[in-house]
């Protein structure tokens, strides 16, 4: 395999990003993930599921007056990114997402066949 | 052969020294109230000749419950973040998001006008804009 073309790959994944805090809660029907992404408008949030990899990315967009100089910065990068590996029993095609006031809520249901079933054991 | 000091320094004191050196390199000069990094909400502070801008990263909070106060040159942002409790049958795998009461305090510069404050909440960020006093703003002086 050779790659001679000097094309510089310029993707978002190459840039440094902040790790947003998350809560992951599982119940019988699936997994709910909450992520804190303050400063990200709805149109700058990117969610992607590829194979079994879930990527959450968001770009921070703050209104800033011209000529502002930062004197103290705890949020020091303009984007968030976090990647999770999903397990097989989750149904990636039925993921639903809500995003409001900087909080993302992702619901990832379990596939039908993976939902718990009560198995009756008959004693003879 | 790997060089080993006969009297290796304690790892923790080495880390302390490293932190001090880093602080000196980047000119962090902690204020009397400390820098309290990692507190909630995370804060960015910046300024222009006309105003001081404070950004508090407090996602998922009803802005009506936020308390913002300026007293004697000190800005306080306080409130409570309530997260829905997990159902009894649920398993919590990761629990990193902040929950509970919070209070953060920022010392303001001397030239701000506590009566000209503008606070808005958007996309989970509280932005507080405080104007500097007219008399303190830089003026160009004409030479006769």
Cis bond leading into B41, ω under 30°?
Answer: yes
pLDDT attached to residue B60: 93
| A83 within domain boundaries | yes
Quote the tokens at residue A66: 């011209």
Instruction: Say whether pLDDT at A5 is over 70.
Output: no
- At B101-127, the pLDDT tens digits run 999 998 898 889 888 899 999 999 999
Which residues on chain A are in Cβ contact (under 8 Å) with B57?
38-39, 74-75, 102
Q: Measured between CB atoms, does B90 come within 8 Å of chain A?
A: yes
Q: Measured between CB atoms, does B114 come within 8 Å of chain A?
A: no
Residues pairing with B14 in the sheet: none
| A5 within domain boundaries | no
Instruction: Say whether pLDDT at B84 is over 60.
Output: yes
Quote the tokens at residue B88: 């009894």
Judge contact between B130 and B117, C-beta under 8 A. yes
- At A26-53, the pLDDT tens digits run 998 899 999 999 999 999 999 999 888 9
User: CA-CA distance, A57 to B97, in Å (whole number)?
Assistant: 17
Q: What average pLDDT does this structure show over A93-106?
A: 94
Q: Which of A80, A89, A86, A83 is nearest to A112 (CA)?
A: A89
| A81 within domain boundaries | yes
The CATH code of the domain that includes A108 is 2.60.40.790
Quote the tokens at residue A85: 């590996």
Judge contact between B114 and B131, C-beta under 8 A. no
- Which domain range does residue A44 map to? 18-61+75-114
Q: Which element (helix H / strand E) includes B58?
A: none
| A51 within domain boundaries | yes
| A92 within domain boundaries | yes
A23–B42 C-beta distance less than 8 A: no
In order of their start, the domains of chain B are 36-83+100-136 (2.60.40.790)
Instruction: Say whether pLDDT at B11 is over 80.
Output: no
Which residues on chain B are in Cβ contact (under 8 Å) with A107?
none
State the average pLDDT for chain B.
83
**Domains: count for chain A:** 1
* CA dihedral of B83, B88, B94, B100, whole degrees rounded to 10: 30
| A11 within domain boundaries | no
Q: Which of A43, A53, A109, A105 is nearest to A82 (CA)?
A: A53
Q: Measured between CB atoms, does A78 come within 8 Å of chain B?
A: no
Q: What's the DSSP call for residue B23?
A: H
| A43 within domain boundaries | yes
| A4 within domain boundaries | no
Instruction: Say whether pLDDT at A118 is over 80.
Output: no
pLDDT attached to residue B18: 78
Helices (H), chain B: 11-25
């Amino acid at each position: 395999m050779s790659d001679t073309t000097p094309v510089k790959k310029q993707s978002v994944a190459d840039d440094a990003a902040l790790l947003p805090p998350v809560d992951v809660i599982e119940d019988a029907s699936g997994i709910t993930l909450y992520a804190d992404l303050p400063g990200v408008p709805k149109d700058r949030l990117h969610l992607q599921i590829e194979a079994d990899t879930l990527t959450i990315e968001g770009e921070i967009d703050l209104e800033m007056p011209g000529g502002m100089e930062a004197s103290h910065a705890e949020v020091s990068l303009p984007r968030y990114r976090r990647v999770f590996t999903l397990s097989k029993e989750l149904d990636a095609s039925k993921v639903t997402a809500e995003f409001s006031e900087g909080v993302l809520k992702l619901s990832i249901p379990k596939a039908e066949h993976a939902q718990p079933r009560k198995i009756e054991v008959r004693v003879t | 052969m790997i060089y080993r000091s006969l009297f290796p320094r304690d790892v923790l004191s080495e880390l302390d020294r490293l932190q001090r050196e880093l602080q000196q390199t980047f000119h962090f000069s902690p204020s009397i109230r400390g820098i309290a990094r990692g507190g909630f909400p995370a804060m960015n502070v910046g300024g222009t000749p006309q105003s001081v801008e404070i950004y508090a990263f407090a996602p998922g909070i009803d802005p009506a419950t936020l308390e913002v106060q300026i007293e004697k040159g000190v800005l306080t942002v306080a409130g409570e973040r309530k997260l829905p409790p997990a159902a009894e049958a649920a398993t919590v795998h990761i629990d990193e998001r902040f929950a509970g009461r919070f209070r953060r305090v920022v010392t303001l510069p001397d030239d701000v006008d506590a009566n000209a404050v503008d606070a808005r909440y958007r996309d989970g960020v509280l932005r507080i804009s405080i104007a500097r006093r007219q008399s303190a703003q830089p003026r160009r002086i004409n030479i006769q």
